[in-house]
Amino acid sequence: MEKNIKLSITIIFFSILLLASSNAELNVKVIISVGDEIITNHDLDKEINYLNIITMGQIKRLDDQESKKIAIDSLIKDKIKINTLSNYNNIIIKDELINNQIIKSSQNIGFKNIEDFMTFIKFQEYELLELKKKILLELQWNQLIYQFYKNQIVIDKEKIDNKLKKLIAGQKKNVEYLIYEIFIENVAIKELNKINKEISTKHNIVIEKQNEIIIETEIASYNNKNKLIDSEKSVEEVPDVKIKDQITIDDLIKNIKEKGFENTAIQFSSSPSAQQGGKLGWVSESTFSQLLLKSIKKTKIGSITEPIPISGGIIILKVENKKVEKNKIDIEKKMEELIDIEKNRQLNNFSTNYFNQVKNNIKIKYFND
C-alpha cells in the first residue's frame, strides 16, 4: 500500500513538471526571423534586461513599445552578425579576453569592482552566461573585420609624428573628456541636403574629411594580431545602403531631450558604441580632430554639441565630464596609442560598411502575434 502511494506521488510530480514545461514552450513565440536565425519573445525579454544593465536602468524608464523597438533593433544586429560568423568557424576567442572585456564593461558602466557588477547582474535577472555570449559575439565580429581589412589599413606616420610633436611641445597637462556619441549615417537622415545646408549655415560648421577625425571606441578589440582565420578575403566596395528608418535632425534632438542621450544612441546611432549607450569613455583631447575639439570645448559639461556634419553622416557628442591632470608624455607609448586609435577608427568604418552590405543581403521577416 505504501509503495503504491509513493508511486502515485512520483507520477503526479513528474506530470506537473511535464505540464509546466509544455506550458513554457507554448508561451515562447517566434516574432522575427533574420536569415537562418530566429528571435523569440523570450529573447526580447532577455535583451531588454541586458540593455537595462548597460544603460543603468535607462531602458526601463521608456514605455514598453519604445523599449521593445530598441531591443528588437539590437537583436537584429546581433543575428545578422551571427549569420555572417556562421561561415567562419575558425575564429577563436580566449576566455581571458572575454573576462577582461567583462571587467572593462563593468568599469565603463561605473562599477569599481567586478563583484558589485555581478551582484547588479543578478538583481536585474540576467545571466552571466548571456553576457559572455554578447561579448563573445562582438569580439568575434571585430576579429572577422580585422582579418578582412587589416591589409587595407593605412597609417600616415608623418601625420602621427606631427601630432606627437605638437603634444610634446604644447601639452603640459593631459585634458580628458568623458564622451558619448551618436553617429547618424546620411542615408538615415530625412531631407539630407536641406538639413546639411541649414546646419552649415546656422552653425558655421565646415564639413571635415573623415580621415582627419580620430575617436577611440572602447568596445573595439582589433589589436589581437593572432592569425585566427586561415583564408585572406577581400570585401568589395559597399553598394548604396537603404535604411528603413529615417529621422530628421530636429526629431533626433527632440528624442535626446525626451528619452535621454543613451537611449537615443542605442536606437539610432550607427556607431559601434551604440550598444553602450554611445559611451566612448574618457578620451584625451589630443585624439580629437580640431573640428570636434573646438565643438567640445565650447560645450558645457553635461550638455551636447551641435550636430556636426562629417564624411558619411552627422555626429553629436555629449560632454559628460572633464578632468585635467599633470602629464609626462611617454613618447613611445603615446606613439603606439595614436597608431592604435587610428587603426581602430579605420576598422570601425570598415565594420559599419561591411555590416550594411551584409544586412542588405539578409532577409528579415516579422511575424504577427
Question: What CATH number should be reported for the domain holding residue 261?
Answer: 3.10.50.40
* Per-residue confidence (pLDDT) for residue 316, from 0 to 100: 94
- In the structure grid, which three cell numbers stand for residue 81, read together? 552578425
* Per-residue confidence (pLDDT) for residue 359, from 0 to 100: 93
| 284 falls within a domain | yes
The answer on pLDDT for 241 being more than 70 is no
| 12 falls within a domain | no
* Per-residue confidence (pLDDT) for residue 134, from 0 to 100: 93
Mean pLDDT value of segment 43-67? 87
| 138 falls within a domain | no
Mean pLDDT value of segment 236-262? 71
Q: For the chain, how long is the longest CA-to-CA vector?
A: 94
| 272 falls within a domain | yes
The answer on pLDDT for 129 being more than 80 is yes
| 287 falls within a domain | yes
Residue type, 356: N
* Per-residue confidence (pLDDT) for residue 110, from 0 to 100: 83
**Residues 7-39: tens digit of each pLDDT:** 454 444 444 444 444 444 458 899 999 999 999
The answer on pLDDT for 227 being more than 50 is no
Burial (0-12, 13-18, 19+ Cβ within 10 Å), 243: middle
Please state whether the predicted TM-score (pTM) of the whole model is above 0.75: no
Mean pLDDT value of segment 60-64? 84
Mean pLDDT value of segment 350-360? 93
Of 223 and 364, which is predicted with more confidence?
364
The answer on pLDDT for 208 being more than 70 is no
Count of positions (residues) in the chain: 369
| 116 falls within a domain | no
Contact criterion met (CB below 8 Å) for 273 and 219: yes
Average pLDDT over the chain, rounded to an integer: 78
C-alpha to C-alpha distances, 147 to 92, 144, 229, nearest whole angstrom: 12, 5, 7
- How many percent of the chain have pLDDT more than 90? 40
| 285 falls within a domain | yes
Q: What percent of the residues of the chain are helix, what percent strand, and what percent coil, each to the nearest 5?
A: 55, 15, 30
| 250 falls within a domain | yes
User: pLDDT class for 90, splitting at 50, 70, 90?
Assistant: confident
| CA–CA gap between residue 135 and residue 284 (Å, rounded) | 25
Q: Which domain holds residue 223?
A: 160-229+241-330
User: pLDDT class for 77, splitting at 50, 70, 90?
Assistant: very high
* Per-residue confidence (pLDDT) for residue 357, from 0 to 100: 93
**Count of structural domains within the chain:** 1
**Residues 299-345: tens digit of each pLDDT:** 999 999 999 988 788 999 999 999 987 667 778 888 888 899 899 99
- Return the exposure string of 95-117: e unless at least 16 CB atoms fall within 10 Å of the residue's CB, then b: eebbeebbeebbebbebeeeeeb
